[in-house]
Amino acid sequence: MTPAPLPGYHYDHPDLPASPVTADDFDGLAAATLFSDADVTALKLAGEVLADQTERILDVWYGFVGSHPHLLAYFSTPEGAPVSEYLAAVRLRFGQWIADTCTRPYDARWLAQQEEIALRHTSAKKNATDGARSVPHVPLRYLIAFVYPITATVRPFLAAKGHAEAEVEAMHQAWFKAVTLQVALWSRPYAGAAW
């Protein structure tokens, strides 16, 4: 049976707008993070290792956001009440993002999806996908700061399946690069011409 499409997940949607980021721009960023074919291979393995641990990873990340009122504010109404339907809808796509980061080819469509995720953190598209009544944008500084927790907290999950230390380290470094690359791409709509 084909699984039901994830609400608001438009990766494979024909109408997903192309990214203004070119393949050359991407190559430059990939080189700047030392992203290589070995990382693609390590991410594939990470995808297998993480697949059945997605909910536990999301519990950690959501626990982190939920325990910091100044972060939970971005999933809340302007008056400060958390919007549970919004949190739940985004959580499903966040889980899919883990798999996409590990298994999708980093091609033009992937770049288009990165631009879409970027815009969904800004006033251009935040809240629109889920019809949420929430604050209009996530500040760029928090996107950048989150590279650390999103990277550090994933290591125990990469190590949970008994792989050799060198393999775990390779998966973790590849993950770190992939998250850094994506946040660099997500900074584009915030930075405008300065990007």
Per-residue contact string for residues 109-128; x = within reach of ligand HEM by CB under 6 A:
--------x--xx----xx-
Nearer to ligand HEM among residue 61 and residue 163 (C-beta):
61
User: Phi then psi for 82, rounded to 5 degrees?
Assistant: -55, 140
Per-residue contact string for residues 48-87; x = within reach of ligand HEM by CB under 6 A:
-----------------x-----x--xx------------
Query: Are the C-beta atoms of residues 99 and 52 closer than 8 Å to each other?
Result: no
**Residue 44, C-beta contacts closer than 8 angstroms, at least 6 positions apart:** 102, 103
**Using CB atoms within 10 A of its CB, is residue 73 exposed (0-12), middle (13-18) or buried (19+)?**
middle
Per-residue contact string for residues 175-194; x = within reach of ligand HEM by CB under 6 A:
----x---x-----------
Query: Are the C-beta atoms of residues 33 and 188 closer than 8 Å to each other?
Result: no
User: Phi then psi for 186, rounded to 5 degrees?
Assistant: -70, -20
Query: Are the C-beta atoms of residues 188 and 115 closer than 8 Å to each other?
Result: yes
> Which of these ranges, 12-20, 21-29, 76-84, 135-143, lies near ligand HEM under the rule CB under 6 A?
135-143
Considering the rule CB under 6 A, would residue 29 count as an interface residue with ligand HEM?
no
Give the residues lining the site for ligand HEM (CB under 6 A).
8-9, 65, 71, 74-75, 90, 93-94, 97, 117, 120-121, 126-127, 129-130, 132, 138, 142-143, 146-147, 150, 179, 183
